[in-house]
Structure 1
Amino acid sequence: MAMIFIGGSRDIFELPEPAVARIGAIVAAEHGVLIGDARGADAEAQSLLAGYGYEHVGVFHTGKEPRNTLGDWAAYRIPAPDGAQGLCVHAAKDGEMARRANFGLMIWDGASPGTCLNILRLAVIGSPCVVYDMLRGTAATIHDTVDWSAMLRDAGPEVRNAVEARMTRDERLALPA
Structure 2
Amino acid sequence: MRKALITGLFLFASSMFSLSLLAADVTIYTGFQNPGKLTIDNVVRDTKLGAVVGGRISGGKIIGFEQTFAFSPNFLESGNRAFNTQSNLVLGIPTGHITPYGTVGVGLITTSGKSIFDFREFGTKFTVNYGGGIKLNNLAGPVGLRFDIRGYTVPKVFNQTLNFVEGTIGIMLSW
Which TM class, normalised by the smaller chain length? under 0.3
Larger radius of gyration: 2
Higher strand share: 2
Higher helix share: 1
TM-score, normalised on structure 2?
0.22
TM-score, normalised on structure 1?
0.22
